[in-house]
Structure 1
Amino acid sequence: MSESKKDWIAFGDIHQSLKFVELLPGLEEASGVIITGDLTNHSPAGTIERIWDTISSRNKNILAQLGNMDRNNVTDFLKGKGANLHCEVRELAQDIKIMGVGCSIPTPFGTPSEITEEEMTRFLEETYARLGEYKQLILVVHDSPFNTKLDVIGNGMHVGSKSVRSFIEKHQPDIVLCGHIHEASGEDNIGKSRIFNPGMASGGGYVLVSIENGKLEATLKQI
């Protein structure tokens, strides 16, 4: 990789299954890793530590956030590592920033980190307000935006977050990385925003996010 190029590898919905980490190409050489959420299944003791150790053994520069299946101890752990992305802002390169909001809106399953649409809106807008100046933006959300190709469950219903969709419509981030709906992997657009759901990590999907000569690009990939 040239000095002017940075590649980040993004994935999510790990759910404690880590075999795919061994198979991800270019992980050691990447500038860093972005994890959209659902690292664990209800965060049993020692699990986030094991997941961290496995991924960081190949790349130590990790940005991650909790999903609806993770408990708050995941956020506490990530904060302790300086890696938390939930409700936080980072600069990946000059004029290129990244912000994250984890959790999901309510599901039928009563998972640990569900929030209302109103809370989702508040988290998104409060985090956005801390961005400051930028030219290009990556939004990392765990929940998929409503009424896209990326929030459709098996019966054809759209179950994504209306708050996430409204935020994207309003602020038009360049790249959106999401997950949550395992069966709806793919790519879609809302206005100029390109949105990616790589699906469940064990299925081998990931997104290659590249910054070269000040330009942000993203490509959906499969192991």
Structure 2
Amino acid sequence: MKIFVVGDIHMGMNGFDKLPALAEDDLLILNGDLTNFGGRDEASQVLERAMSITPNVLAQFGNLDRPEVNDYLDERRINLHGQARLLPGPLAVAGVGGSNQTPFRTPSEFTEEEMLQLGTTACLKAQQLIGEANEQGAERLPLLLISHTPPYETAVDRIHSGAHVGSTAIRQLIETFRPDLCICGHIHEARNTDRIAETRIANPGMLATGGFVRIIYEHSQLHMELL
């Protein structure tokens, strides 16, 4: 099974053309900023373009998506924000959308306390799903964290000035729950990889510039490529 993660789409749907062909059981995850200050109509356009590639799509909103996008993704039953899912494999995925507070007062921002609460809820649910699968005889299950905002003070949250603007809450979630991988976005210029303890982190940058992450899941291990 392969998982492709893209983010910071900003209505730039031509970026989907840069993805390789997906197999029938592959999954595509849209990690926030589907639109530019858009709502459900704009998000619907992006989602339909993504689903023309594969029907297997999960998504969450970013800070430049209006809150109604979160409701729309809930209605479509593909939302990751503040939630967790058990994917085929099996493996668990937890999501945190929106962003921490910015100087720009974008539509979907949260305090660090709110982000920590949302992320904790999602990660605890993921742990519950992992525990239930283990009781049924599954091998060790990995945890994948999808966060629109990067963790603070890493190679993936640095803006052009050199300042770190990521989320302390996301960093705390990684340190507490120790996911195998964390895929983030939000800071376009911080396309990079990093590590917090044993958690590997990747920010693929904007989809329009061709950035995406490919995750291959085999033998209970997640193998990540930044492409």
Bin the TM-score by the shorter chain. over 0.9
Cα deviation, 1:41-88, whole Å, max 9, x if unaligned, reads 111562111111111111111110011001122112211221101011
**SS of equivalent residue, structure 2 residue 99:** coil
One-letter amino acid of the structure 1 residue matched with residue 55 of structure 2: K
Q: 5+ residue gaps in structure 2?
A: 131-140
1:201 aligned to 189, 195, 207, which one?
207
One-letter amino acid of the structure 2 residue matched with residue 52 of structure 1: L
**SS of equivalent residue, structure 1 residue 138:** strand
Q: Determine if contact 2:39/2:65 at 8 Å carries over to the other structure.
A: no
Q: 5+ residue gaps in structure 1?
A: 1-5
**SS of equivalent residue, structure 1 residue 130:** helix
1:145 aligned to 131, 148, 151, which one?
151
Seq. identity, %: 39
Closer/same/farther in 2, CA of residues 189 and 45 from structure 1, 3 Å limit: closer
Q: 1:127 aligned to 2:126? A: no
TM-score of the superposition, structure 1-length normalised? 0.93
Tell me how far apart the structure 1 counterparts of residues 95 and 165 of structure 2 sit (CA, whole Å): 20
Match of 2:46 in 1: 51
TM-score of the superposition, structure 2-length normalised? 0.91
Match of 1:188 in 2: 194
**SS of equivalent residue, structure 1 residue 129:** helix
Closer/same/farther in 2, CA of residues 106 and 167 from structure 1, 3 Å limit: same
Tell me how far apart the structure 2 counterparts of residues 44 and 35 of structure 1 sit (CA, whole Å): 15
**SS of equivalent residue, structure 2 residue 58:** strand
Question: Number of aligned pairs?
Answer: 216
Tell me how far apart the structure 1 counterparts of residues 78 and 129 of structure 2 sit (CA, whole Å): 22
1:115 aligned to 107, 110, 131, which one?
110
One-letter amino acid of the structure 2 residue matched with residue 42 of structure 1: F
Runs (4+) of structure 1 exceeding 4 A deviation are none
Match of 1:24 in 2: 19
Q: Tell me by how many angstroms 1:28 deviates.
A: 5.3
Closer/same/farther in 2, CA of residues 45 and 9 from structure 1, 3 Å limit: closer
1:103 aligned to 98, 105, 121, which one?
98
Tell me how far apart the structure 2 counterparts of residues 128 and 44 of structure 1 sit (CA, whole Å): 27
Q: 1:159 aligned to 2:165? A: yes
One-letter amino acid of the structure 2 residue matched with residue 106 of structure 1: Q
